[in-house]
Structure 1
Amino acid sequence: MKLKYLLFALFLSLTLHSCVVLSTKKYKAMLSQRDSLFTRATNLETEISQLQADTAHLHGEIASLKSNLADQQDSYARLKGNYDNLNNNLTSTNSKVNQLSSDLQKREKRLKEVEDILRKRDEATNALKEKLQKALLGFQQNGLTVDIRNGKVYVSLTDKLLFPSGSIVIDERGKAALKQLAAVLNKEPDINMAVEGHTDDKKVINLGQIKDNWDLSVLRATSVTRYLTEFERIDPKRLTATGKGQYQPIDPADNNDARTKNRRIEIVLTPKLDELYNLIKN
């Protein structure tokens, strides 16, 4: 509206300034010019209002965009922080995975070495059993058995094959069986031996210095061990003698057949496993 007033004042000033009596034609031309100026002024004011509105709108959009930009920058900073954390975690996880993979490879290698040694032990144990069965074939009808338990060869001899009743002195038939056994074992220097004496659960009666089944089992085991070392020349370092008394029966039944089975000498043969022990210690 100010623009229109200014134009009107200008037009009036020019009219008064001329101090000339205008003709009707000139007067109408001036009126037309005035109307044109008013129209242009109105249009300019409208355009200015529109420009002002657009400017305000743009300022609002700019403010909104700046706010959004600030939010996006905050989000980016958080995401970057999360990414850095994830990247650090990934690096740490990769390091752990590599370490675990290396440890697993070492364990698998170690396991294979142990399995190879155990396989060799089983092969040696089976071969030893076959040799002993062939060498002692003639005694198997007299209460001698050869079997494998827990990776060890057990040569079980009933007491009647080795000793007279109630005695700790080996008879000739028992010596013959032990001689055949020693012939095989002297050719197998990597086999250790444990001689175990076993009795039944009947109390010892009238055996002089032998007080009980513990004594009887230990002394019989010692007699077998002494014979093998002194007469058959087996290295004493390979042998141990133990007495089990009546506490590890083959047959727990309460009858004479079971007691006969339980009265025995067991020679437990174990391959040396130095390689395996070294692996376990390392």
Structure 2
Amino acid sequence: MIKKLSLIALLLITMTSCVSKKIYTELEDKYANLKKDNRALNDELEALSKSKNQLDNDYTALVNAHDAAKNEVAQLSTELEALSSKYDNLKASYDALEKNSSAEIAKNSKKNRELLAQLEAKEQALAAENERLEKLKKELESRSQRVAELESVIAAKDANMRALKDAISKALTNFEGKGLTVEQRDGKVYVSMENKLLFESGSWYVGAQGKQAVKQLGSVLAENPEIAILIEGHTDNVPYKGNAQLSGNWDLSTKRATAIVNILRENNAINPENLTAAGRGEYAPVASNDSAEGRAKNRRIEVILTPKLDEISKLLNDI
């Protein structure tokens, strides 16, 4: 993204003296939008980093607990060894005194019983600590495995979205420079098509060129059944005064989004359950409505492609 921003900035500088004001303004707006997208992506990256840091902290806590349990086991083992040595010494004394005095024998017998009871208690404590240590070890291994699985799934989803973006860009090459852009940000792929490619002013009927672009997009989406497809219609802030059947810009944006969905549904390989049509009217502009150029950018269809995150959610709940 930073490389792309730099290239556009360089393009703006080098072309200022040789392009029209309209093209310069469009490039400048696109540069501003990319900067905004870059900030959003950095915020998302920071949130993911915090989540990963929390997982690392949990992992460290388990490691510390595991180390503490190992130290406890080592200490109990040392005490057991010391008690065993003491027991051997007392037994030797017992054997020596057995011939001399029944009283001494009884005394040593009592000590031996007490010592045996202590040994039994220590052995039980040692067994309990060994069991607790083994449980912590298994929990630590399981947690590490789930974290590794989560990282692997996230990396695979990101790689799949990059591949999807590249496939869409390749499929829609013929429409570059005609109000169509393909971007990847925030883990999603955004396909933006300005109305000049799709609709006449005030209409939701898709022209031949626009229909061809949507069908070519559909051919790629049909090969990616694990992608959720949201089609958003957008307008500028000029009040709609066309067909009396429509209540305004919001209604128009919804009908345009639905028109795109209907074209995609002509491809039987696309699961209708993956499709969502939404109208956002004039309330999500990408440029200022104070100029004709800005209003033209705001009149658009955005196809937002999102990977299904059920597997990631399950792994997060298991951690």
Distance 1:96 1:129, change over 3 A: same
Secondary structure, in 3 states, of the residue corresponding to 2:175?
A: helix
Provide the rounded CA distance (Å) in 1 between the counterparts of 2:170 and 2:153.
26
1:1-282 to 2 correspondences below 5 Å: 105-229=141-265, 231-233=266-268, 234-252=270-288, 254-282=290-318
1:108, 1:188 → 2: CA distance?
Answer: 31
| 2:181–2:193 contact (8 Å) kept in structure 1 | yes
Write the distance in 2 (CA, Å) between the matches of 1:255 and 1:104: 60
Name stretches of at least 5 consecutive residues in structure 1 with no aligned partner: 1-90
**Alpha-carbon distance, 1:163 to partner:** 0.7
Distance 1:112 1:224 in 2: 40
CA distance in 2, matches of 1:261, 1:101: 57
Q: TM-score, normalised by structure 2?
A: 0.55
The number of equivalent residue pairs is: 193
* CA deviation string 1:75-101 (max 9, x = no partner): xxxxxxxxxxxxxxxx99999998777
Q: State the percentage of identical aligned residues.
A: 43
Q: Is the 8 A contact 2:236 2:289 kept in 1?
A: no
Matched residue of 2:287: which SS?
coil
Tell me: CA distance 1:222–1:102, structure 2 relative to 1, closer, same or farther (3 Å): same
Aligned to 2:92: none
8 Å Cα contact 2:193/2:300 also seen in 1? yes
Distance 2:139 2:290 in 1: 55
Deviation at 1:271, TM superposition (A): 2.2
Partner Cα distance (1:253, 1:224) in 2: 24
Structure 1 match to 2:16? none
Residue type at the aligned position of 1:239: L
8 Å contact kept, 2:237–2:289: no
Where does the alignment leave 5 or more consecutive residues of structure 2 unmatched?
1-125
> In the superposition, relative to structure 1, how do residues 255 and 108 fare at CA in structure 2: closer, same or farther (>3 Å)?
farther
